[in-house]
Structure 1
C-alpha cells in the first residue's frame, strides 16, 4: 500500500465513518478534510475536526504506520506542531510533536473496504494523465468554447468574491487588497498561504506609512516574514534587522514563524526571500495603485510589474550566502499569474464600485 492511497481515501472520505473514534476512544466527526498539500509540511491544511465536544482547526498528517512519523523526523519539525489529527492505516507507535504533545490518532485498518485498493490501483495505473482524454477530440467545438467561457467567468466570480471578503475584513481599501493579492500571486501555489499571512500581518496604515521608505519597508516585510532572526555577517541584512527591531518594538509586531515558508522543490529564483524583495519593489513605486487603475492595456500593466531588485540580490538568493551573479526578474509566466489572479479581478471590483 502507498501513502498516496490513504491521501485519496481521506480526501474523498472513502471509509466507514460510523462510530469513528480516535485510538483514545474520542468520538470523531469530520467537518472539513482540509486542503491537500503536495509540498513540504502536513498532508492536509486547515482541516476542521470535531472530537467529542470540541472543534479543532488545524492540519492532518497521514501515514501507513504511526511509526512513519519518526521515520520522517516530524518530531523535530515545528511545521507539524499544528497537526490536530494523525490518520494512519496501522497504529503501531505513540508519537510526539516537536513541542512534546501527542496528536490524536485514528486508525483506518478496519474502516476501508479491500476492494477499494484494487480499484485505486487500476485507475491510477492508467497511462492517460486525464482518464477521459481520449474523448476530448469528439467534443463539439462550439460546446468546448462555451464551456471554457463559462469556466472563465465562474473562476473570475470566485476571485471577485474572495476580494470582497478581504475588503470586508479591512478598511474597505482596494490598495491594501492589491498588496494582498500580489503577495499571494508571488508566493505561487507553494507559498501562497504564507504570503497571505505576511500581508495580513501588516495593517493598511503600516503599509501606507512605510512603503515609500525602502529600508523600513524592506525591514518590515522581511522581519514580519521571520527572515531577520539570528545573527548576520553582511551589512545589508544586519541593517534590516536593526531597523526591524525598532519597528517591532514601536508597533508591537509579531513575526511569522520561519517554518511556514517552503523552499523544497523551488527554483532559487522563486525562493520566498526573493519574492518578498520583489513585492517590496513593486509596492514601493510612486502612485502604483493609481497607475494600475489607469493602465490601458496588458503591456502597460506588465511594465509596472517588471521591476529590478537592489544589487544585493544579484549575488544572493537568501541572506548572508553568496551566489552566482544574476539579475532576479519575474518571468513571463509569473507576470501572467499576477495579471490574471490579481489585476483583472481588481478591475472587476473597481468597475462594480465606481
Structure 2
C-alpha cells in the first residue's frame, strides 16, 4: 500500500463515508476533507470534521501505519500540533497530543471497498509493463481521453515555456533574440540541438540585425561561430567565408570557445550542420522582424510560406566544404521540418507571449496544433498500438507529456486514465 493512494482516497472520498468510526468507536462526519498540502507539514489543511458529536477544524495527517508518525518524527514538530484526525491504512499504535490525549485515528482499510483495492493492485502490479494501464488503455472512453489530452498538451506547453522564460529574463525581454536562440536550437535537431543552442547564445543578436542584408556574411557568422572554418580547405567559397569571419571576429569581438562541438556523424546529408546553418542564414536574410511576422500569422499555409527558405547557391553542389556533390535543386526546408519548428519553437513561444499579454489564446493554439500531423516516435507508436489516438501534433505532444510526467513516474492517481480505471 502506498501513501499517495491514501491521499487519493481521502481527497476524493473514495470510501464508504457513512457510518465512519475511529478505531476507538467514535462517529466521524466529514464536512471538508481539507486542502491538499504538497509542501512540508500535515497532508491536508483546514479540514472540518465532527468527531463523536463535537465539531473540529484543523489538519489531517495520513500514513500507511500509525507508527509512521514516530518514524517521521512528527511528535517533535510543532506543525503537527493541530492535527485533528490521523488517517491510516493500518492502525498499530496510538498517537498522543502534547496534553496526552489520543489523536483520533481512522483506519481506512475498514471503509474502502475491496473492489477498489483490487483495481489499485492491478494497476500497480509488479508485472513488467510499458505503462501500468496498458491492458485497460483501449477501454477508456474516447471523449474523456480527448479532454485529458488537451489538458496534457497545455501542461507540455507550460513545461516548454520555462526555458523561454529563462531566456527572456537573460535578454531583458528581447523576443527577437529569444526566437533566434530557440530556432537555432531547433535547427540542430536532437544531435546538434545543444551545440546550436550554445552557438546562438555565443554572440549578441544585434550582430544578426546588422548583417541581415548579406546572406553570405550571415553564413560566415554562423558557420564560423560553429568552429567549422578551422580546417585548410582549397575552395573559393570557403576561403571567402573564412575572410569574412576573421573580419567579423575582430570587429564584433567574437568568441566561440564555449560553443559545443558540432556533429556530422550518423546524420543524413540534408541534416548536416552546414546545410541547416545556411538555411538559418537564409531565413534571417529573407525576413527582418521575424518575431512580429510570426505572431501575426494564423494559418498553417502562412507559416509554410514564411519558412519557404533554402540554402545559398553554393550548397546546390555541396553538403560539406571538403567534397563536391552532384548538383541538386535548392535545399529548401521540408514541410516536416517546418512542422518540427512549429511544434517545438513557434507554438511554445506564441503560447508564452499571449499568456504574458493576458490574451486567451487556447483556441488559436489548438487550431494551429491540430493542423500539424502527429509526430512519429516510439512513444506515439506504442500508444497507437494500444488505441489509435494520435492524429495531430497536439495529440502526440500530449501523449509524450502523459508518458514522461505520469506513466514513467507512476503518477496514475493524478492521471484521468488512472482515475477512470479506479472509479469503474
Task: Return 5+ residue gaps in structure 2 as ranges.
Answer: 1-126, 358-424
Q: Are 1:334 and 2:333 an aligned pair?
A: no
Once the 2 structures are TM-superposed, how far is the Cα of residue 259 of structure 1 from its aligned partner? 6.8
Name the structure 2 match of 1:283: 284
Which residue in 2 is equivalent to 1:55? none
* Structure with greater Cα Rg: 2
| Cα shift at 1:167 | 0.7
TM (norm. structure 2) is: 0.51
> TM-score normalized by structure 1?
0.60
Q: After TM superposition, give the deviation of residue 130 of structure 1 in Å.
A: 6.3
Distance 1:132 1:315 in 2: 52
d(CA) in 1 for partners of 2:271, 2:256: 21
Question: Which residue is 1:216 aligned to?
Answer: 217
Query: Is the counterpart of residue 154 in structure 1 residue 122 in structure 2?
Result: no
Report the CA distance between 1:131 and its aligned residue. 7.5
Instruction: Report what 1:296 is aligned to.
Output: 298
Describe the superposition over 1:87-122 as per-residue Cα deviations: whole angstroms up to 9, x where unpaired.
Answer: xxxxxxxxxxxxxxxxxxxxxxxxxxxxxxxxxxx9
1:170-194 Cα shifts (integer Å, max 9, x gaps)? 1321111111111111111111101
The answer to whether residue 355 in structure 2 is matched with residue 352 in structure 1 is yes
Secondary structure of the equivalent of 1:316? Answer: coil
In the alignment, the residues of structure 2 paired with residue 222 and residue 131 of structure 1 have an alpha-carbon distance, to the nearest angstrom, of 47
Counterpart check, 1:180 vs 2:187: no
Report the 3-state secondary structure (helix = DSSP H, G, I; strand = E; otherwise coil) of the residue aligned with 2:173: coil
Q: Give the alignment of 1:97-108 within 5 angstroms.
A: none
- Residue of structure 1 in register with 2:255 after alignment: 254
| Aligned counterpart, 1:203 | 204
Question: Relative CO higher for 1 or 2, CA cutoff 8 Å, sep ≥ 6?
Answer: 2
SS in structure 1 at match of 2:188: helix
1:166 maps to what in 2?
Answer: 167
Give the number of aligned pairs. Answer: 229
1:317 CA displacement: 0.9
Measured against aligned partners, the alpha-carbon deviations of 1:289-311 in whole angstroms (never above 9, x if no partner) come to: 33222222111011111212222
Residue number in structure 1 paired with 2:76: none
Q: What value does the CA root-mean-square deviation take over the aligned residues?
A: 2.2
CA-to-aligned-CA distance 1:224-269 (integer Å, 9 cap, x gap)? 0000112121111110001101111222212257872122221111
Q: Which runs of 5+ in 1 are unaligned?
A: 1-121
Contact 2:157 2:348 in 1 (8 A): yes
Which consecutive segments of 4 or more residues in structure 1 shift more than 3 A? 129-135, 256-259
Query: 2: distance between equivalents of 1:257 and 1:263?
Result: 19
Alignment pair present for 1:193 and 2:194: yes
Question: Structure 2 vs 1, CA of residues 200 and 258 (structure 1 numbering), >3 Å: closer, same or farther?
Answer: closer
Assess if the C-alpha contact under 8 Å between 1:212 and 1:286 holds in 2.
no
Q: Is the 8 A contact 1:184 1:195 kept in 2?
A: yes
